[in-house]
Chain A
Amino acid sequence: MKSVEDWYRHDRMPHIFCTGCGNGTVINCTLEAVMQMGWDIDNTIFISGIGCSSRSPGYITTDSLHTTHGRALAFATGVKLAKPEFDVVVFTGDGDLSAIGGNHFIHACRRNINMTVICMNNMIYGMTGGQGSPCTPAGAISTTTPYGATEPVFDLARLAEASGANYSARWTAYHVKELTKAIKVGMEIPGFSFIEAMTQCPTSYGRRNKLRTTTSMLEYMRDNAVLLNKAKRMEAEGRELSPGRFTVGEFVKRFRPALGVVKDEE
């Protein structure tokens, strides 16, 4: 395999993503990492739930399972345990993973099952037209939070860490190099690897939140991302992250015993 292009399912183009959507960037980063890993197209399985983000496997030319809303990790658990030699990657969205699929998320982390999970967190339900998700920041407008979101958000990367995943990192579609690297590290580490990729959704999120253009959304991610080390320093100084800002970096990297690891990988 020479190029990322070889992994795309060209007869499925054009894709359904809106102009300026961040999902394509995350798919590219993922396939770049897969290439660096030297994985075999016929041994790699992409699995997803339901949502814009979950449409990603359909554009990749491996065996793939586009499942039901929230259940991707449970399907993936079956695929992986029935055939641990498969390299399994899951694409999911913030709603898919943390709302309807929240229980499967914490249990897949707890089992520390050997797969790589990439969550495209666009802070919104994109596919259904922009309803609030568990990751919609305080004050943000969505069709179901017309006066501004009031509930606290889930910190997905921390949730993965606390639930037992061997690897957890968060980057954004702006931080292409860091994101690609994190995905690759996640793929290398046996056990459950979680990579949260903050992505822009100009259509369902940006439009209602004064971030109408793709550039303004990318700038938003650049300007609001705080490196973990810096956040720790701030915490030590008793300073809090202002609302809407989020940490990026590697939250955990460890080698606890994991499920679904083929012996010679250990």
Chain B
Amino acid sequence: MQGNIACAEGALAAGCSFFGGYPITPSTEVAEHMARILPKKGGTFIQMEDELASISSIIGASWAGARSMTATSGPGFSLMMENIGYAVMTETPIVIVNIQRGGPSTGQPTMGAQGDMMQCRFGSHGDYSTIALVPSTVQEMFDLTAKAFNLADRFRCPVFLMSDEIIGHMREKVTIPEEVDIIRRRPLKEGKLPFEPEDDMIPGFPEFGKGYRVHVTGLTHDERGYPEATNCELHSELVTRLVNKIESKRHEIADYDIINPQAEIVFITYGPPGRAVRQLMHDYSDLEIGHLNLRIVWPFPEKVLKEFPNASKFIVPELNMGQMAREIQRHTSIEVESLPKIGGEMHTPDELFRAMGGDS
């Protein structure tokens, strides 16, 4: 199965019933598959007039109670930035798939990249936090897309599946489970105000049409949802909660694989470079090579770096110019070596071997 199809299938398995999108290489197969399947399942597929509209439509659909998603790539992702902030501020669960390609601008439409990792974290204006999942296999495309919906519903925020052309267009065997875990958003409890958080800092969801009579606004608002845009304390409390409801759970939701924790040289990857590391370990099975492969990159679970007690160096191969290497460096005193690669090709195992100081 192709990666992009596995992504769409993961969404369908998770009960996604609304897709709003706009065609863009290399993500289009996700939309095309949804266009084929969703109407047959009683869901809605709509091709909007642009990506500003795509993300708007899925936020609207989410308030009407649907699990909703869109899929795009660089240029479209850039157009979505304003409403990503709107979804953050209004605590709207949505899933945004970014099948990354080479940028900036139109760049390399058919080549894989991981250049939007910081954009998905910081691209909209203001302070906020988000959740980003990164698959390194076609199976993970399925699994992580399904998981993204549960995280979006639980944390009431936009959740990103930050894949890329390489995995999106890769064909691999996928095992589709009988059913996937579906944990839907918690409804607003009786007696609670529409934006009154529960103990976990997350308010119950006052879905439209259920009699809550909720007013939703991107302006700074109180627990009733009413705008109060010049109240300094309220703004500070609200935005701090929006960040902390996610950041305080970063170790609980962390999702990664650790291999050879006793190693001195440790590769840290997310997405396609993890494949090159696995190949390297296979080719040089006599070497002790440590590997941390992250499936959730944001929020960054920095404690995991402590799982490598003998590490003398973290090597971070990425299909960008060192975006996550910088994030990793700020959490550790161990040397971090960035191994950037742009242009559209994956790292070869030999390149990784040389970065270890090997002579090939």
Chain A positions near chain B (C-beta within 8 angstroms):
9, 11-12, 41-43, 45, 47, 57-58, 61-68, 70-71, 74-83, 85-86, 103-104, 107
Contact = CB atoms under 8 A, between A and B. Distances in A.
> Which of B53, B56, B66, B211 has the most A CB atoms < 10 Å from its CB?
B56
B65 A83 contact: yes
B61 A82 contact: yes
A81 B44 contact: yes
Given A66-B216, A68-B86, A43 B209 contact: yes
A78 B68 contact: yes
Contact of B53 (A74, A80, A81): A74
A62 B216 CA distance: 11
> Which of B65, B211, B216, B219 has the most A CB atoms < 10 Å from its CB?
B216
A82 B209 CA distance: 12
Secondary structure type dominating chain A contacts: helix
A11 B210 CA distance: 21
Nearest to B210: A42
B17 interface: yes
Contact of A82 (B53, B66, B210): B66
A86 to B, nearest CB: 6
B339 interface: no
A210 B64 CA distance: 46
Given A75-B60, A83-B208, A68 B46 contact: no
Contact of B50 (A66, A68, A103): A103
A5 to B, nearest CB: 15
A214 B173 CA distance: 70
Query: Which 5 A-B pairs have CB atoms at the shortest separation, nearest pair first?
Result: A78-B60, A78-B57, A74-B56, A82-B64, A82-B61
Given A71-B83, A78-B68, A66 B58 contact: no
A83 B62 CA distance: 10
A78 B82 contact: no
22 contacts: A43-B209, A58-B215, A61-B213, A63-B63, A64-B214, A65-B60, A66-B219, A67-B59, A68-B56, A68-B82, A70-B52, A71-B53, A74-B56, A74-B60, A79-B61, A79-B63, A82-B61, A82-B64, A83-B64, A83-B208, A85-B209, A86-B64
B217 interface: yes
B218 A66 contact: yes
B57 A81 contact: yes
B212 interface: yes
B208 A79 contact: yes
B314 interface: no
A64 B206 CA distance: 11
Contacts of B56: 67-68, 71, 74-75, 77-78, 104
> Which of A64, A79, A85 has the most B CB atoms < 10 Å from its CB?
A79
A70 B86 CA distance: 13
Nearest to A81: B44
Interface string B188-223: 000000000000000000101111111111110000
A57 B215 contact: yes
B123 interface: no
Interface string B55-90: 011111111111010000000000000110010000
Nearest to B216: A65
Contacts of A65: 60, 63, 216
Nearest to A50: B218
B20 interface: yes
A242 B346 CA distance: 66
B226 to A, nearest CB: 6
Interface in B25-64: 44, 46, 48-50, 52-54, 56-64
Contact of B209 (A11, A70, A86): A86
> Which of B52, B53, B61 has the most A CB atoms < 10 Å from its CB?
B53
A82 B217 contact: no
A82 B207 CA distance: 12
A77 B48 CA distance: 9
B216 A83 contact: no
A107 B211 contact: no
Contact of A12 (B17, B44, B48, B226): B226
A65 B62 CA distance: 12
A68 B218 contact: yes
Contacts of B20: 77-78
B227 interface: yes
B43 to A, nearest CB: 9
B160 interface: no
Given A61-B213, A64-B215, A71-B83, 19 more contacts: A9-B215, A58-B226, A63-B209, A64-B214, A66-B216, A67-B56, A74-B52, A74-B53, A74-B54, A75-B60, A78-B57, A78-B58, A81-B46, A82-B68, A86-B64, A86-B208, A103-B53, A104-B53, A104-B56
A71 B215 contact: no
Given A45-B208, A58-B227, A66-B218, A78 B83 contact: no
B18 interface: yes
A116 to B, nearest CB: 16
